[in-house]
Amino acid sequence: MSPGAGSALTFLAAAVHAKAVAEIGTGAGVSGLYLLRGMAADGVLTSVDLEAEHQRLAREAFVAAGFPPQRYRLITGSALDVLPRLIDHGYDLVLIDGDKVEYGEYFDEALRLIRPGGMIIFDNALWHDRVADPSQRDPQTTAIRELISRVRADETLRSVVIPLGDGLLAVQVGS
């Protein structure tokens, strides 16, 4: 994640006064650090990733940055298996940076998880500048393009594509 996109995550987490954040795709903890910096001091980040090694690296990054263990919950597993077990309307922000082909399914789960007025953010909304090129028809690009169209067509949502890093799609759920 680029520093600009990370700063946007910190800002958006602070803007919705995030106390409960769910993240799909832990990676090495970089996006989690940006989120934690913008969250309320007693907020908790729940991060889901298939790879236990990613979780280990994220835990090291969080400890090195001085975040106590009660500020984050790391869950190893498939997001589509884990998300149904999370509480309805219990999250202020959901960050999605997992398998691009599953973005539509993640969005369905995020809509259930997010509180009214909360925000769902997708990383890689520009997908290496492929989304804007209609000749690009690979499964990942097509899935992101379909997600953006779906969000745009839903009048209960407010959204913007932020052209930082590889693009962030920020979606606010109506209050």
pLDDT in the model for residue 153: 95
CA–CA separation, 112 and 8 (whole Å): 24
Token pair in block for residue 64 = 């090195």
Whole-structure pTM over 0.85, yes or no?
yes
Token pair in block for residue 157 = 């949502």
pLDDT 10s digits, 68-93: 999 999 999 999 999 999 999 999 99
Contact (CB, 8 A) for 143 and 100: yes
Domains in the chain: boundaries:
3-173
Banded pLDDT at 174 (limits 50, 70, 90): confident
Banded pLDDT at 59 (limits 50, 70, 90): very high
At the fourth CATH level, the homologous superfamily of domain 3-173 is Vaccinia Virus protein VP39 (3.40.50.150)
pLDDT 10s digits, 100-132: 999 999 999 999 999 999 999 999 999 999 999
Kindly state the average pLDDT of the residues 165-170: 94
